């Protein structure tokens, strides 16, 4: 009986592997890249609008929750970049290594994955928080992710003329030369706090 079911099992595994390969190929396309960028902003704005529709009676609280969500995302961005994309899990590490090798490539997460995760997060938060607050917090985190994606896009594809913008972009370019430094893309906060901010040797004082 075990042998009789083996072909079916192998066929299911082959189909599953084929689906994963198709998703991997799609994730490297220009279409997936741009649709993903748009989807991230659409989901974030939709969640924020839904939160406002549910309850717009406490604007100061809403601003505070929005800022908390952006702050939380700043750590998520740092943690994922440092411990996941530069970590021991081959699935994530190999994909990110490809980005370091081809920073102008279109490799990215499947366009549907981040929105699905964010919507799941909103549902979980709604179990422990008031609905409006859950939607607002999830929307703020989603907005942080969308801004991260857009920041990463323009850092690699645009040459800035303003000195501050050039300096901001240079922080991430340093990471491509020193992969254990400057994990933050939108903000250097956690690099400062956790000791991964790059300090040029010319700025290190000899004692």
Q: How far apart are the first and last CA of the chain?
A: 75
Residue 29 C-alpha from the chain's centroid: 18
**What are the residue ranges in the chain where pLDDT is below 50?**
1-2, 204-207
Domain boundaries, the chain: 2-203
Per-residue confidence (pLDDT) for residue 95, from 0 to 100 = 66
Per-residue confidence (pLDDT) for residue 24, from 0 to 100 = 73
pTM for the structure as a whole: 0.83
Per-residue confidence (pLDDT) for residue 173, from 0 to 100 = 86
Residue with tokens 């040459």: 159
Question: CB–CB of 107/120 below 8 Å?
Answer: no
Per-residue confidence (pLDDT) for residue 206, from 0 to 100 = 37
Residue 102 C-alpha from the chain's centroid: 18
Per-residue confidence (pLDDT) for residue 91, from 0 to 100 = 65
Per-residue confidence (pLDDT) for residue 101, from 0 to 100 = 72
Per-residue confidence (pLDDT) for residue 79, from 0 to 100 = 94
User: What is the rounded radius of gyration, in angstroms, for the C-alpha atoms of the chain?
Assistant: 20
> Per-residue pLDDT tens for 137-151?
999 999 999 999 999
* Torsion angles phi and psi, residue 193, rounded to 5: -70, -35
Which residues are CB-contacts of 163 (< 8 A; sequence separation ≥ 6)? none
Q: Which pairs count as long-range contacts for 95-102, CB under 8 Å and 24+ apart, including other chains?
A: 100/176, 100/179
Q: Supply 201's token pair.
A: 């040797």
Per-residue confidence (pLDDT) for residue 205, from 0 to 100 = 45
CB atoms under 10 Å from CB of 142, counted, come to: 28
């Amino acid at each position: 009986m075990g042998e009789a079911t083996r072909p079916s099992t192998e066929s299911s595994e082959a189909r599953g592997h084929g689906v994963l390969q198709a998703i991997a190929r799609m994730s490297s396309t220009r279409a997936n890249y741009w649709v993903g960028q748009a989807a991230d902003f659409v989901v974030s704005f939709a969640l924020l609008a839904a939160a406002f529709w549910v309850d717009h009676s406490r604007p100061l609280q809403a601003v505070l929750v929005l800022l908390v969500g952006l702050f939380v995302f700043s750590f998520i961005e740092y943690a994922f970049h440092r411990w996941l994309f530069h970590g021991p899990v081959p699935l994530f590490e190999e994909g990110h290594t490809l980005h370091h090798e081809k920073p102008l490539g279109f490799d990215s997460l499947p366009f549907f994955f981040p929105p699905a995760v964010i919507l799941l997060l909103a549902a979980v938060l709604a179990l422990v928080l008031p609905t409006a607050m859950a939607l607002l917090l999830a929307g703020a985190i989603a907005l942080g992710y969308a801004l991260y994606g857009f920041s990463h896009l323009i850092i690699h594809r645009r040459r800035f003329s303003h000195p501050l913008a050039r300096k901001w972009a240079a922080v991430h370019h340093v990471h491509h030369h020193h992969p254990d430094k400057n994990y933050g893309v939108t903000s250097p906060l956690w690099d400062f706090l956790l000791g991964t901010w790059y300090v040029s040797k010319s700025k290190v004082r000899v004692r």
